[in-house]
A = this chain, B = another copy of it.
Amino acid sequence: TARTTVTTEEPKSESGGLVLIKNPHLDTMEEDILYHLDLGTRTHNLPAMFGDIKFVCVGGSPNRMKAFAQFMHKELGLEGSGEDLADICAGTDRYAMYRTGPVLSISHGMGIPSISIMLHELIKLLHHAKCRDVTIIRIGTSGGLGIEAGSVVITDTAVDASFQPRFEQVVLGDVVVRSTDLDRDLAEELLACSKEVPDFPTLIGHTMCTYDFYEGQGRLDGALCSFSSEKKLEYLKRAHEAGVRNIEMESTAFAAMCGLCGLKAAVVCVALLDRLEGDQIRAPREVLREYQQRPQRLIAAFIRRRLGLHPPAGPALPSSN
C-alpha cells in the first residue's frame, strides 16, 4: 500500500479531572464551531450549558437516546415527566442531544466514522465547558457470541476484526495505531451494579468492533457474501476463543479517543441475538425494545449509586415492563 508510517502514540497523562485536548491549534482559534452538533463557542455559553455534566451516555439511535434521557429524568427523581426534554442539537439532524441533571445523552449513528465525528465535537464541547471528572459510557446494541440473546456485555477490551486491542486511524494518509484500553475499575463497578438489576444476565468480555455489519461480521445474509457457512463459523469460533463475547461497530474508536483525552470510558451493549445461532435479527420488536432498555437500566443503577441516590420506590419502572 501507499501508506508509509506506523506509529504508536504515548499513553494519556494526568489532567486533574479535566478533559485533555491533544491539539495545540485549538487554543489559537477565536471561535470553535461544532458543526455537526450545531453549537459553537461564540454562539453558545458552553460552560453555563454543560459545565456541571458528570455523565455522558452515547448510543447509536436518536430515539433511544431521547428515551434514555427521559428515563434518567425519572430515575433521578427530577421534577416533571421529562417528556418535554428538548433536543439541544435541534438545528441539525446529524445527532440528537438531551440533558437531564448531570447526565448528557447523545446519539452517534452507526459505525466508527459517525461516532468519531461526534466524539471530536463532544470532547471539544466538554473542554470548552470546563467539565471535570466526566464518565462516558456507550450504551448500545450488538450481536452476541456464545451468549444468550438479551445478555448485557460490559467490555473489558475492545478488539478489531483480527481480535487485536488496537484502533488504526489514518492521519494524512499514514496509519496511526492507538490503544483501545477501557477503564477496568469502571467495568468492575458496573458489574457490581448489575446485581441491582438481576432479571437479565450481565457479563464482562471482549467486544469486537468491525467496519461492516454483513461481510465484516461474517453474516451470510448481505447483498454480498463470498464465504461458506463453515468459514463463517470457524471465524466466529476463533473470535470466541480469543475472548470476544459480542460484536458491534464503534467500540475501538470510542475507547481510543476517550482514552487519549483522559475520559473514563465504558462500553455496555446488549446482545440482540447469538451469532453462533444465526445472522438475522428475528426477535419481535417488543422483545428487542425491552432488550435495548437493559443497558439503560444498568447505567441508571450506576449513576444513582454514584450520586448516592437510593433506587426509587413505588411502582415498577416503565422500562421493566
Binding site for B on A (CB under 8 A): 1-3, 9, 21-26, 29, 31-33, 35-36, 60-63, 91, 93-94, 109-114, 116-117, 119-121, 123-124, 127, 161-164, 169-173, 176, 210-216, 218, 220-227, 229, 231-232, 235, 249, 257, 260-261, 280-282, 285
Expressed in whole angstroms, the Cα–Cα distance for A162 and B3 within the complex equals 7
Chain B's nearest CB lies how many Å from the CB of A46?
14
**Within 8 Å CB of A163, what residues of B?**
2, 173
Q: Judge whether A257 and B114 touch: CB under 8 Å.
A: no
Q: Judge whether B235 and A172 touch: CB under 8 Å.
A: yes
7 contacts between A and B (CB under 8 A): A33-B282, A113-B113, A121-B223, A170-B210, A171-B216, A171-B226, A224-B261
Expressed in whole angstroms, the Cα–Cα distance for A27 and B36 within the complex equals 41
Q: Judge whether A116 and B282 touch: CB under 8 Å.
A: no
Q: Judge whether B94 and A61 touch: CB under 8 Å.
A: yes
With CB as the reference atom, state the residue of chain B lying closest to A6: B1
Secondary structure dominating the interface of A:
loop
Q: Judge whether A113 and B116 touch: CB under 8 Å.
A: no
**Beyond A32-B221, A171-B215, A172-B215, 20 additional pairs, beta carbon < 8 A:** A9-B226, A22-B223, A22-B224, A22-B225, A25-B221, A25-B229, A29-B280, A33-B280, A33-B282, A36-B110, A63-B93, A91-B285, A94-B110, A112-B113, A169-B211, A170-B211, A171-B226, A172-B227, A211-B211, A224-B257
Contacts A22-B224, A62-B93, A223-B21; is A112 near B169 (CB within 8 Å)?
A: no
Q: Which of A26, A161, A172, A260 has the most CB of B within 10 A?
A: A172
**Within 8 Å CB of A123, what residues of B?**
223
Expressed in whole angstroms, the Cα–Cα distance for A280 and B91 within the complex equals 17
**Within 8 Å CB of A63, what residues of B?**
93
Contacts A33-B281, A91-B285; is A216 near B111 (CB within 8 Å)?
A: no
Q: Judge whether B170 and A216 touch: CB under 8 Å.
A: yes
Q: Judge whether A112 and B281 touch: CB under 8 Å.
A: no
**Within 8 Å CB of A33, what residues of B?**
280-282
Q: Judge whether B172 and A212 touch: CB under 8 Å.
A: no
Expressed in whole angstroms, the Cα–Cα distance for A164 and B173 within the complex equals 11
**Within 8 Å CB of A61, what residues of B?**
93-94
Q: Judge whether B1 and A112 touch: CB under 8 Å.
A: no
Contacts A161-B170, A173-B161; is A113 near B32 (CB within 8 Å)?
A: no
Contacts A62-B93, A162-B3; is A23 near B117 (CB within 8 Å)?
A: no
